[in-house]
Amino acid sequence: MNKKNALLILAFLSTFCLGFVFKSFTTSHTNTPIIKVTGIGGIFFKCKDPARMRDWYHQHLGFATNAYGATFKWFETPDSNSKAQTQWSPFPEKSDYFPKEFMINYRVVNLEMLVEVLKKEGVTIVDKLQTFDYGKFIHILDPEGNKIELWEPKDA
């Protein structure tokens, strides 16, 4: 493994771990505090051969991989029965789903309200809110043009 791949993997794993300790943020832009990000929803990165990457991570690091990557299930709080999950997904190197080498997906609550707050704050909204059976999604840009995916999950 070359240094670039090792650094990317280290960065992704570090980011993944930060998701477990990430606290909720609130804002006072409205009368009711808006909970913004509640954790890391997923880590997505580009690679030459996603199937080979899934196999490597399965074989060497024990990831329970499937066609999309791997899903790490966890509980929202130590005394909670509320399950949550974090997604790990290698994408084809030529994917245009995100323009850079990686994209982080952040878990949020009440995505529709959050989008309205972000618009008022001048944040660039890339697309329209989409709803699937596993949650709602929208993409925004940070000040350096990094595409960020916001996800309001429907956890089982």
pLDDT above 70: percentage of residues in the chain:
78
**119/39: higher pLDDT:** 119
Q: Which domains does the chain have, with CATH numbers?
A: 3-153 (3.10.180.10)
Cα–Cα dist 144/84, whole Å: 30
Task: Give pLDDT tens digits for 113-127.
Answer: 999 999 999 999 999
- Residue 107, classed as helix, strand or coil, is strand
**Which neighbouring-strand residues pair with 135?**
132, 153
**pLDDT (0 to 100) of residue 111:** 95
**Burial class (CB within 10 angstroms; exposed 0-12, middle 13-18, buried 19+) of 11:** middle
Contact present, 108 and 35 (Cβ < 8 Å): yes
Does residue 56 sit in helix, strand or coil? helix
What backbone phi and psi angles, to 5 degrees, belong to 11?
-65, -45
State the pLDDT at residue 5. Answer: 59
What φ, ψ does residue 42 adopt, rounded to 5°?
-175, 160
What per-residue confidence (pLDDT) applies to 143? Answer: 83
The whole-number average pLDDT for the span 17-27 is: 41
Q: Where is pLDDT greater, at 72 or 136?
A: 136
Nearest to 104 by CA among 153, 62, 55, 139: 139
Residue with tokens 């493994």: 1
Q: Is the pTM of this model over 0.75?
A: no
Give the helix/strand (H/E) hosting 139. Answer: strand 135-141
Q: What is the pLDDT of residue 56?
A: 83
Q: CA 67, CA 69: separation in Å to the nearest integer?
A: 6
The pLDDT assigned to 17 comes to: 44
Give the model confidence (pLDDT) of 54-100 as tens digits. Answer: 988 888 778 899 998 998 888 777 777 778 888 889 999 999 998 88
Which residue has better confidence, 140 or 82?
Answer: 140
